[in-house]
Amino acid sequence: MREATAPRTTDLEFTTADAIEQFLVDSYDTPIRIRSTGDFPTFRHRRTDVGTFAVETGRHSADLQFDVEPLNVFVVCRTSTARLARTTDGADDRYDAGALFLMNDPDRPHTSRWFPGELQTCVLDPALLGLVAASAPDRRAAPIRFTALEPLSPGAASHWQATRSYVAGLLENPDAASAPLVVGSAARLLAAATLATFPNTAFTDPDAVDRHDAHPDALRRAVAFIEDHPQDDVAIADIAAAAHVSVRAVQLAFRRHLAMTPTEYLRRVRLSRAHEALRAADPTTTTVAAVACRWGFPSPGRFAALYRRTYRVTPGQTLRGG
């Protein structure tokens, strides 16, 4: 999987097809050929890249045609104001403004025609999707493939777009964007939303082996790992690997024995550490928002509500020694 990095945002503008082509070749690391018809193009592009995923917004004034070799990444697109036509494996598709779709299979070439207007994209490392849908450490998982490039339903498309907007907002927040726990959770949230939105081959229901493995010993190993690593960017696959069972088995073990998910347990542990940090902090140099982000809570309002429900005081009162 690509290495996670601190968010990097670039804002660029190009006025020739050759410059646009070179920029996209550099960004996607694959051969791309662009032709412009009609007026001289003006292309504006904003990209925030964190290594495992990137969110982009591009807009242009011309009619651009693309010949794209395999990208080796998944690209989810939404035509905000533009229209787009795409051909892949001999199939032609057209998308009006407001449509959501997958641009490509990572290992297949495609051609497309992007009419003037704005296009939003989200670039996802295939290994990130595999991490979210991982099976047991000792089972060889098949690569995830999407069986259609359009969403399962309009509701699924709306959910995906809301998730992208939420993640893009997090990356605009300096406190949240500088917190590895927040960025790592955002990456997995996008991956999970993508798997839930587009038909794919990931299998998520527990099987007989998973039900057998969801025993108290596995739960104890998972709990010990969480207690030892709340400050790390922990994925559900990491917890499962520490417990020596599949993701489905560890999820079943938590539901069966603790009536919660592994993620909920991790959130409780991180909330406890945030509580300890607030008690120990100097209120003249520390803010509640900074402590919350450090422990994986990017929304001050949600953090405050959860904190008060748990500790019967506000986080601000704890910080001030109240």
Structure confidence by residue, pLDDT tens digits, 123-142: 999 888 887 776 544 445 56
pLDDT for 209 equals: 75
248 has pLDDT over 90: no
Residue with tokens 């050929």: 33
37 has pLDDT over 80: no
- Round to whole Å and give the CA distance between 131 and 58: 29
pLDDT for 2 equals: 65
Instruction: Collect all residues with Cβ–Cβ distance below 8 Å to 225 and sequence separation of at least 6.
Output: 234, 238, 239, 242, 243
pLDDT for 204 equals: 56
Average pLDDT for the chain: 89
Kindly state the average pLDDT of the residues 305-313.
94
pLDDT band (50, 70, 90) for residue 39? low
pLDDT band (50, 70, 90) for residue 91? confident
According to CATH, the topology of domain 1-196 is: Jelly Rolls (2.60.120)
Q: Which two tokens stand for residue 63?
A: 């009619």
3-class secondary-structure state, position 287: coil
Q: Which two tokens stand for residue 299?
A: 């929304």
pLDDT band (50, 70, 90) for residue 287? very high
206 has pLDDT over 80: no
pLDDT for 134 equals: 62
Looking at beta carbons, which pairs linking 287-290 to residues 24 or more positions away fall under 8 Å? Answer: 288/315, 288/316, 288/319, 289/175, 290/175
Helix axes 262-280, 216-228, angle to 10 degrees: 30
Gyration radius (Cα) of the chain, Å: 22
- Round to whole Å and give the CA distance between 32 and 23: 10
- Round to whole Å and give the CA distance between 100 and 118: 13
Tell me the pTM.
0.78
Instruction: Collect all residues with Cβ–Cβ distance below 8 Å to 137 and sequence separation of at least 6.
Output: 240, 241, 244, 246
Structure confidence by residue, pLDDT tens digits, 145-167: 888 899 988 888 999 999 999 99
Query: Of 38 and 247, which is predicted with more confidence?
Result: 247
pLDDT band (50, 70, 90) for residue 193? very high
Indicate the domain borders of the chain: 1-196, 266-319
Minimum mean pLDDT among 15-24, 200-209, 269-278, 280-289: which range?
Answer: 200-209
Q: Which CATH class is domain 266-319?
A: mainly alpha
Beta bridge mates, 124: 53, 74
Minimum mean pLDDT among 108-112, 166-170, 208-212: which range?
Answer: 208-212
- Round to whole Å and give the CA distance between 185 and 227: 18
205 has pLDDT over 70: no
203 has pLDDT over 90: no
pLDDT for 295 equals: 95
266 has pLDDT over 90: yes
62 has pLDDT over 80: yes
pLDDT for 16 equals: 85
Looking at beta carbons, which pairs linking 308-313 to residues 24 or more positions away fall under 8 Å? Answer: 310/271, 310/275, 311/275
